[in-house]
Amino acid sequence: MNKLSPSILAADFWNLGQQIESVQKAGAQYLHVDVMDGMFVPSISFGMPVLSSIRKKTDMFLDVHLMVERPERYIQAFAACGADLINFHLEATRDVAGTIGQIRSLGKKVGVTLKPDTPAEAVEPYLDQVDMVLVMTVEPGFGGQKILPSCMDKVSQVRGLIRKKDLDVDVEVDGGVTLENVSSVVDAGASVIVAGSAVFDGDVEKNVETLLGKIKRA
């Protein structure tokens, strides 16, 4: 079943708890937690204490997206704070295999992430070691950007590589997903959909329900 992963980067932090309750009540399966270090990406978002607070109050699946230079330094900390899955960028580390191994050894699910300019083939050597490939459809760093149409082909290519190897790996798409384009994102091969502004701008529960209706597939 395809899943929705609302990105709390677009939430109203004054009411974060309430907003998380709303997305869960409306049926979102995952919660996307964007961690930015001001180095790998220009902006700084939030980190371990926020993740811990969320973990204490919800049993939702926490899908952590590390936009952090040398993520291997922080795997242990984010695992301890309650991540269920840790996504890190291929471009951010020289030790992709070691970082995957570290996440696995802590009993967490592993995702590897590709920036818009990184080709699909870059992930091929790791496909049999991961649970998810996260394809960025905007330059990472900020919410509320427009989807880059050039990245849609990459979603299909990654899905094609996974199919060719007959693996059970999710393809997650992150950046610029809207009510209008979400169906084409799923058609391209995405099985987990991140949505920030499309969920948190306006009526949160209604947005989640509408998005879930559109990503549902047999």
Residues catalogued as catalytic: 34, 174
First to last CA, the chain: 7
Total Cβ atoms within 10 A of residue 181 = 18
By CB under 6 A, is residue 34 in contact with ligand DX5? yes
Inter-axis angle of helices 16-25 and 48-57, to 10 degrees? 50
Question: Which CB, 62 or 195, lies closer to ligand DX5?
Answer: 195
x/- letters, 152..181, toward ligand DX5 (CB under 6 A): ----------------------xxxx----
Measured at CB, which residue is nearest to ligand DX5?
Answer: 196
- Which of the ranges 88-96, 136-144, 151-159, 180-188 carries the binding residues for ligand DX5, by CB under 6 A? 136-144
Q: How far is the CB of 136 from ligand DX5 (least distance, A)?
A: 7
DSSP letter for each residue of 22-37: HHHHTT--EEEEEEEB
By CB under 5 A, is residue 63 in contact with Zn ion? no
Question: Which CB, 34 or 170, lies closer to Zn ion?
Answer: 34
- Which of the ranges 21-29, 55-63, 70-78, 194-202 carries the binding residues for ligand DX5, by CB under 6 A? 194-202
Query: Cβ(130)–Cβ(169) under 8 Å?
Result: yes
By CB under 6 A, is residue 65 in contact with ligand DX5? yes
Q: How far is the CB of 175 from Zn ion (least distance, A)?
A: 7
**Which single residue is written with the structure tokens 């209706």?**
213
Query: Cβ(81)–Cβ(108) under 8 Å?
Result: no
* 203 vs 121: CA distance, rounded Å: 39
Q: How far is the CB of 110 from ligand DX5 (least distance, A)?
A: 17
By CB under 5 A, is residue 65 in contact with Zn ion? yes
By CB under 5 A, is residue 108 in contact with Zn ion? no
- For residue 133, what are its two tokens? 């490939």
Total Cβ atoms within 10 A of residue 22 = 21
- Buried residues in 73-110 as b, exposed as e (16+ CB within 10 A): ebbeebbebbbbbbbbbbebbeebeebbebbeeeebbb
x/- letters, 129..168, toward Zn ion (CB under 5 A): ----------------------------------------
Point out which residues bind ligand DX5 (CB under 6 A).
7, 9-10, 32, 34, 65, 138, 140-145, 174-177, 194-198
